[in-house]
Amino acid sequence: MLEGKKVVLGVCGSIAAYKAAMLVRLLVKAGAKVQVVMTADAANFITPLTLSTLSKNPVHINYFNAENGEWDNHVELGLWADIMLIAPASANTLAKMANGLCDNLLCAVYLSAKCPVYFAPAMDLDMYRHPAAVNNINRLQGYGNILIPAGKGELASGLHGEGRMAEPEEIISLLASDIKKKLLLAGHKILVTAGPTYEAIDPVRFIGNHSSGKMGFAIADELASMGAIVTLISGPSAQQSKQPSVKRINVTSAAEMLEACLDNYPDSKLCIMSAAVADYTPVTIASQKIKKQDDHLNIDLKKTTDILKTLGEHKQPHQLLIGFALETENEEQYATEKLKKKNLDLIILNSLNDTGAGFKSDTNKITMIDKYLQKTIFTLKSKTEVARDICAKVAELINQ
């Protein structure tokens, strides 16, 4: 959920500032881009060098850098961030934030931020319970800021109770969970197929195609980044998902892919069939490697079960089904016929006649045709960008 997110981490003067090192490390490990803004007092508890090294970015403390004569632009930092996280948030900084005071860079960035702001208080028990602190926390929540409640435990004073900053792992989990809830496809189960199928001739040889699986994997990753619960059924492919939440099921043949689809489609809201499934498979598979003897070798083939058509027949009123059509002639005509014949809600057409489209390429050029025959033509794009276009349409269909 934090992959690619831009996070401004505010660190205040508190003994809990030592936890900021682990917090930065976990954010970076989760794929976030981190800029740290510290108060001057925070630098007494943890060095800027530590946080700079872990975040791989300079740490911001002052409005003005006397060494190079540069101004640290708080407005740019506030606009840059997708998330602002203030942890630890001291009683002093919470009071300034609640009352709009702006005597340091951190408070200036906070007042400039357009993104969600999370704050994790850290202070002693009596301070945390003081009506002034309680009022400031309530006021900040009233502004739309998101409280990460302090935990209970042993405090620096030796007292035991509330005021202890939430642990870094808890904060990361909360951020990821909160982001997921706000995503367009949060909680929707989506099935994606990708790659080729290999139809065995003998233990050594097979009939296959040139599909790499890149398109299907890009779609699965994008859906997962939008909060969907994704199951990816992949034929033989060297591709790897970038989203750890994607559940991958490996298959080899068209028959295995059919079985996996029938097992998983009933529980899915939507299925995107981007796999290049073989249309024919050998009638018999030789138990031993076929030796090269005659000048000619005839192999009897039979039709494989049409997976897309089968899913279309099983589709329930609450389900959606999207197919792909890779054509070389009469592209729109064939794609439209496939859309109607197989009971699809949307078909993604690409043509091998378009330079840069098709198998193995890192780019693709698609046309979307929906069940009302409304057509949307896209320019040549990277498969990652194409996946975003497809998933934006998926979100539109699901949320209609």
Structural domain spans, the chain: 6-181, 189-399
DSSP class of 120: E
Mean pLDDT for the stretch of residues 276-301: 91
- Structural tokens at position 237: 């492919």
Does 72 have pLDDT greater than 70? no
d(CA 41, CA 67): 20
User: Which helix (DSSP H) or strand (DSSP E) does residue 16 occupy?
Assistant: none
Least confident stretch, 168-182, 313-327, 336-350: 168-182
Euclidean distance between the first and the last CA atom of the chain, given in angstroms as a whole number? 24
What's residue 132's pLDDT? 95
- Structural tokens at position 133: 């602190």
345 is in an annotated binding site: no
Coil/strand/helix, residue 356: coil
279 is in an annotated binding site: yes
- Structural tokens at position 285: 């598979």
Share of the chain above pLDDT 90, in %: 70
CB 301 within 8 A of CB 283: yes
209 is catalytic: yes
- Structural tokens at position 107: 């408070």
> Among 364, 367, 368, which Cα is nearest to 383's?
364
Coil/strand/helix, residue 300: coil
What's residue 287's pLDDT? 92
Active-site entry in 57, 73, 92, 209: 209
What's residue 125's pLDDT? 79
Q: Which CATH number fits domain 6-181: 3.40.50.1950, 3.30.390.30, 2.40.160.40, 2.40.50.140?
A: 3.40.50.1950
Homologous superfamily (CATH) of 189-399 is CoaB-like (3.40.50.10300)
Q: Do domains 6-181 and 189-399 have the same CATH topology?
A: yes
324 is in an annotated binding site: yes
Output the 3-class SS for 220-259. HHHHHHCCCEEEEEECCCCCCCCCCCCEEEECCCHHHHHH
d(CA 61, CA 72): 9
Measured in whole angstroms, the distance separating CA 96 from the mean position of its chain's CA atoms is: 35
338 is in an annotated binding site: yes
What's residue 68's pLDDT? 63
* Confidence band of 67 (pLDDT split at 50, 70, 90): low
Does 155 have pLDDT greater than 70? no
* pTM for the predicted model, two decimal places: 0.66
